[in-house]
């Protein structure tokens, strides 16, 4: 665990604040070892003369500084509006609205989580999960009580009923490019698969593909999820759909929940985890754990340390799926975090012998 830190010689706050820096060091020393951050953010308690892309400017009321805030945002700076147990981050054209507890040392906690390498919206979530004195209560004071975490404001209403549950530990979860692959892999005995079509195709052809996948799942007593194409999946009676964060704003989640369709949601950090939990999905995917070439990722790889933190926070709350760059070599390390499911792509589709690859991967879940 980190014992000494070199924060006092860094430009953490504007104006410089020795007491905040000392509090940040105390908190940071109890958060564990993390790779050094590549984005040295500076928290500004008053606006600097020349804000830049590394500044996070804290205000009580952003509306009172309307034109200035607009200029700061154009220059790449972020603005945190914090008052009355609410905090809103304006950054990169996005607005992250949080409601929860603001501890007296929340700014020091924010600086500590930024130093751990968390992006500002995730660091702000963790800062609102912080409580004064947490660093004195345990060697590892990293927030792990979901009840302490803030609520996200401004989200679309969740369906009246929660999504149907799926098994707590889904095991091996191949993500496959075609109905032919789905039929092949469920034939190997895999019980959870996903169809992810990356290329555009005519609607009728897509419907036929999905219908084949649904039929294969029923024939082999397997759970087939359909990525993105929720309308066609609903029409075909699919077991489940998997959606990205942006899809919750456009998909008819109420219709899916009412039909008993299971819902999996992608996440890439603490803020998106809270957003996913709001919709009460059947499972949450955590990724990308490792670098992946199968799709363009919006964030850097999460790594095993973050995955372990997500599992600790969410274990027993919702089934979890680790995804991104997972193969037979790293599978034991992934499962050691406690996650009950690992999604794989190339480990199956690019294997010289897919049946043997599936068998070896499945054995990894029994060891």
User: Residues of the chain with pLDDT > 70: what percent?
Assistant: 97
Q: Give the pLDDT of residue 40.
A: 87
Q: What is the pLDDT of residue 4?
A: 52
In tens, the pLDDT along 34-61 reads: 987 778 899 999 999 999 899 999 998 8
Give the model's confidence band at 248: pLDDT under 50 very low, under 70 low, under 90 confident, else very high: very high
Among 34-38, 146-150, 222-226, 325-329, the minimum mean pLDDT is found in 34-38
Residue 222 CA to residue 194 CA, distance in Å, equals 10
> What is the distance between the alpha carbons of residues 164 and 167, in angstroms, rounded to a whole number?
10
Task: Please list the residues that pair with 79 across neighbouring strands.
Answer: 57, 90
CATH T-level topology, domain 171-364: TIM Barrel (3.20.20)
Pairing of the two strands 94-99 and 86-91: antiparallel
Binned at pLDDT 50, 70 and 90, residue 122 comes out as very high
Predicted confidence (pLDDT) at residue 2 exceeds the cutoff of 50:
no
**Residue 30: pLDDT band with limits 50, 70, 90:** very high
Domain-wise residue ranges, the chain:
13-152, 171-364
Residues 6+ apart with CB under 8 A from 202: none
Q: What is the pLDDT of residue 297?
A: 67
Does 24 have pLDDT greater than 50?
A: yes
Q: Is the pTM of this model over 0.75?
A: yes
Where are the extended beta strands (E) located within the chain? Answer: 13-14, 42-44, 55-59, 78-83, 86-91, 94-99, 151-152, 171-176, 192-195, 223-227, 240-243, 262-267, 283-287, 320-323, 341-344
The residue-averaged pLDDT of 16-37 equals 92
Q: Which residue has the tokens 């409601």?
A: 99
pLDDT score, position 116: 95
Q: Count helices and strands (H / E) in the chain.
A: 13, 15
Q: What percent of the chain has a predicted confidence (pLDDT) above 90?
A: 86
pLDDT computed for residue 3 by the predictor: 47
pLDDT of residue 212: 98
Is the CB of residue 171 less than 8 Å from the CB of residue 191? yes
- Give me the pLDDT at residue 149, please: 98
Mean pLDDT of the chain: 94
Is 70 exceeded by the pLDDT of residue 364?
yes
DSSP-derived 3-state class of residue 154: coil
pLDDT per residue as tens digits for the range 206-245: 999 999 999 999 999 999 999 999 999 999 999 999 999 9
Phi and psi at residue 63, to the nearest 5°: -65, -30
Calculate the dihedral angle through the C-alpha atoms of 16, 30, 285, 290, rounding to the nearest 10 degrees: 80
DSSP state of 195: E
Give long-range contacts, CB 8 A cutoff, 24+ apart: 225-234. 225/192, 225/193, 225/194, 225/195, 225/262, 225/264, 226/194, 226/195, 227/175, 227/194, 227/195, 227/196, 227/197, 228/196, 228/197, 229/197, 230/256, 230/261, 232/203, 232/206, 232/207, 233/261, 234/259, 234/261
Residue-wise pLDDT tens digits, 81-119: 998 899 999 999 999 999 999 999 999 999 999 999 999
- The mean per-residue pLDDT over the stretch 144-173 comes to 97
**Over 50: is that where the pLDDT of 1 sits?**
no
33: tokens are 């070892």
CA 46/CA 38 separation, integer angstroms: 24
Q: What is the mean pLDDT of residues 165-184?
A: 97
The predicted pLDDT at position 35 comes to: 84
pLDDT value at position 85?
Answer: 92
pLDDT at 271 over 90: yes
* pLDDT at 294 > cutoff 90: no
């Amino acid at each position: 665990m980190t014992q000494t830190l070199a924060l006092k010689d860094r430009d953490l706050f504007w104006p410089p604040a020795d007491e905040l820096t000392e509090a940040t060091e105390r908190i940071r020393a109890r958060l564990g070892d993390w790779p050094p951050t590549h984005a040295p953010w500076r928290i500004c308690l008053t606006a600097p003369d020349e804000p830049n892309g590394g500044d996070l400017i804290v205000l009580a009321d952003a509306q009172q500084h309307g034109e200035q805030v607009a200029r700061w945002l154009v220059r790449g700076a972020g603005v945190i509006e914090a008052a009355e147990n609410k905090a809103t981050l304006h950054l990169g054209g996005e607005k992250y609205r949080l409601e929860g507890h603001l501890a007296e040392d929340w700014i020091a906690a924010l600086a500590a989580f930024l130093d751990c390498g968390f992006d500002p919206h995730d660091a702000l979530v963790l800062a609102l999960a912080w409580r004064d004195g947490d660093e004195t209560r345990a060697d590892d004071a990293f927030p792990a009580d979901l009840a302490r975490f803030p609520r996200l404001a401004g989200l679309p209403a969740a369906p009246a009923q929660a999504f149907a549950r799926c098994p707590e530990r889904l095991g091996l979860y191949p993500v496959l490019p075609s109905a032919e692959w789905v039929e092949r892999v469920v034939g190997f005995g895999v019980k959870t698969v996903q169809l992810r079509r990356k290329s555009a195709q005519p609607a009728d052809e897509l419907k036929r593909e999905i219908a084949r996948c649904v039929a294969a799942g029923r024939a082999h007593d397997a759970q087939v999820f359909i990525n993105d194409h929720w309308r066609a999946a609903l029409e075909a009676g699919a077991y489940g759909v998997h959606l990205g964060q942006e899809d919750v704003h456009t998909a008819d989640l109420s219709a899916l929940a009412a039909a008993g369709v299971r819902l999996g949601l992608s996440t890439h950090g603490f803020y998106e985890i809270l957003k996913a939990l709001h919709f009460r999905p059947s499972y949450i995917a955590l990724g990308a754990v490792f670098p992946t070439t199968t799709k363009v990722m919006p964030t850097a790889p999460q790594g095993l340390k973050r995955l372990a933190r997500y599992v600790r926070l969410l274990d027993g709350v919702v089934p979890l799926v680790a995804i991104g760059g997972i193969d037979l070599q790293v599978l034991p390390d992934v499962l050691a975090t406690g996650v009950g499911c690992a999604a794989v792509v190339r480990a199956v589709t690019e294997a010289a012998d897919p049946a043997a690859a599936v068998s070896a991967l499945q054995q990894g879940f029994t060891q």
